[in-house]
Amino acid sequence: MSLSSPRQADAVRRVLAFVVRSWHRRWPLVAGLTGAITLVTLAEVLLPLYAGRLVDALSGSERRAALEAAWPAFLAMTGLGLATAVLRHVAWSLVVPLSLHTMSDIVRNGFGRVQRFSTEWHANTFSGSTVRKISRGMWAIDGQDVASASQASLRAQVAIVPQEPVLFHRSLAENIAHARAGASAQEIERAAHLANAHAFIGRLPKGYATLVGERGVKLSVGERQRVALARAFLADAPILILDEATSSLDSESGALVQEAMIRLMRGRTAIVIAHRLSTVRALDRILVFDRGRIVEDGPHATLKRRPNGAYRALFERQSVLAEGV
């Protein structure tokens, strides 16, 4: 293999360093495997030597003396053959767990990188994992163990606004009413007003009867997000989860959604997942995650003054970008 480019050489160095670190943690397996392979190699080297002695012994003219000389060589060859077979099985039995441990290290390392850098992973799994934790009885709401509550009652207590809202090929009114069956037209319209969606709906030829297309393809990203917020207003749940609700919006749509989100969070327990810090500045408590761990905890005013803090660095970076725009 040619290592003409620096990137190839660096890749080889990284792989070798990773293998050394992984094997160092499994040194008993590596030592056993190395010993078994060394002994098998030694047995295979000695086997032809004793085979030659056996042939020399049997080629003698006197039969009795030839047999007496051949027996030690024959027994040595038999022992070496059995030892080779056993040691090969030992080596393979050690190769399998060592390979599985190495693959586990690769997956764990790769998962950590994805967890840190992939916004898509973060957005697509946080809400789902939160709901799963609630439904599995791992949380208590107002001191009540959720394990004793029905799934329907739990879902009625939580409203979720994801990064990519799921809209159906139905009218806007039906999509908003999906949050609460039996909602009246006045309630749907009021929810749309609160979500800053009524204005754009009123400009449509059919208004609330407009079909949005599969997954809401006839609406812009900002319009879809405001329909999702209208659902949350209509659901009127005491617990609200906003999962990257403003990450894909332009400045104009983002401002409308931001205004509706602040209105929606009043009087509710809100869990907000965001990379845009403008979304979380007004929250009572902010948790900063890095590689799946909480590294900072506090309100916006405290975190932005913390020297060398992760939140402060991100806040300053986003402020510079905002000024550039």
Bridge pairing between strands 293-298 and 286-290: antiparallel
Contact 220, 248 (CB under 8 A): no
Number of structural domains in the chain: 3
Q: Let me know whether 80 and 187 are in one domain.
A: no
Last residue of a domain, one of 87, 117, 147: 117
d(CA 309, CA 288) in angstroms, rounded, equals: 10
User: φ and ψ at 111, to 5 degrees?
Assistant: -65, -40
Is pLDDT of 119 > 50?
no
In this structure, what CATH number is given to the domain that contains residue 107?
1.10.287
Bridge pairing between strands 140-141 and 144-145: antiparallel
Instruction: List the beta bridge partners of residue 249.
Output: none
Q: Residue 272: inside a domain, yes or no?
A: no
Over the stretch 51-103, which tens digit does the pLDDT of each residue have?
A: 777 777 777 667 777 677 777 877 888 888 888 888 888 888 887 787 777 77
- Beta-carbon contacts of 54 under 8 Å, excluding residues fewer than 6 positions away, are 70, 73, 74, 77
Is pLDDT of 212 > 80?
yes
The predicted pLDDT at position 130 comes to 55
Over the stretch 3-22, which tens digit does the pLDDT of each residue have?
A: 456 667 777 777 777 777 77
Q: Residue 215: inside a domain, yes or no?
A: yes
Least confident of 9-18, 115-124, 127-136, 251-260: 115-124
Q: Let me know whether 306 and 201 are in one domain.
A: no
The predicted pLDDT at position 117 comes to 44
In this structure, what CATH number is given to the domain that contains residue 140?
3.40.50.300
Q: Domain range holding 256?
A: 125-266
pTM of the full predicted structure? 0.52
Q: Let me know whether 104 and 20 are in one domain.
A: yes
Last residue of a domain, one of 74, 99, 117: 117
Over the stretch 225-271, which tens digit does the pLDDT of each residue have?
A: 888 888 888 888 888 888 877 766 666 677 787 788 888 888 888 88
Q: Let me know whether 167 and 71 are in one domain.
A: no
Last residue of a domain, one of 94, 117, 140: 117
d(CA 121, CA 252) in angstroms, rounded, equals: 26
Q: Let me know whether 90 and 194 are in one domain.
A: no
Q: Let me know whether 113 and 130 are in one domain.
A: no
The predicted pLDDT at position 140 comes to 66
Residue 110: band (very low, low, confident or very high) from pLDDT cuts 50, 70, 90: low
Q: Residue 190: inside a domain, yes or no?
A: yes
Q: Residue 1: inside a domain, yes or no?
A: no
Least confident of 4-8, 213-217, 297-301: 4-8
Q: Let me know whether 27 and 58 are in one domain.
A: yes
d(CA 229, CA 260) in angstroms, rounded, equals: 7
Q: Residue 301: inside a domain, yes or no?
A: yes
Is pLDDT of 172 > 60?
yes
Q: Residue 271: inside a domain, yes or no?
A: no
d(CA 172, CA 213) in angstroms, rounded, equals: 10
Kindly provide the b/e burial profile for residues 113-123, where b requires at least 16 CB atoms within 10 angstroms of the residue's own CB.
Answer: eebeeeeeebb
Integer angstrom CA distances of residue 95 from 80, 228, 273: 22, 53, 43
- pLDDT above 90 covers a percentage of the chain that reads 0
User: φ and ψ at 160, to 5 degrees?
Assistant: -125, 130
Over the stretch 36-46, which tens digit does the pLDDT of each residue have?
A: 888 888 888 88
The predicted pLDDT at position 124 comes to 47
Q: Residue 279: inside a domain, yes or no?
A: no
Kindly provide the b/e burial profile for residues 90-103, where b requires at least 16 CB atoms within 10 angstroms of the residue's own CB.
Answer: bbeebeeebeeebe
Q: Let me know whether 195 and 301 are in one domain.
A: no
- Average pLDDT, stretch 29-36? 83
Q: Let me know whether 221 and 309 are in one domain.
A: no
d(CA 102, CA 15) in angstroms, rounded, equals: 12
Q: Residue 75: inside a domain, yes or no?
A: yes
Q: Let me know whether 192 and 96 are in one domain.
A: no
**DSSP letters spanning 263-309:** HHHTTSEEEEE-SSGGGTTT-S-EEEEETTEEEEEE-HHHHTTSTT-
Of 75, 58, 74, the residue nearest 66 (C-alpha): 58
Q: Let me know whether 315 and 250 are in one domain.
A: no
The predicted pLDDT at position 126 comes to 53
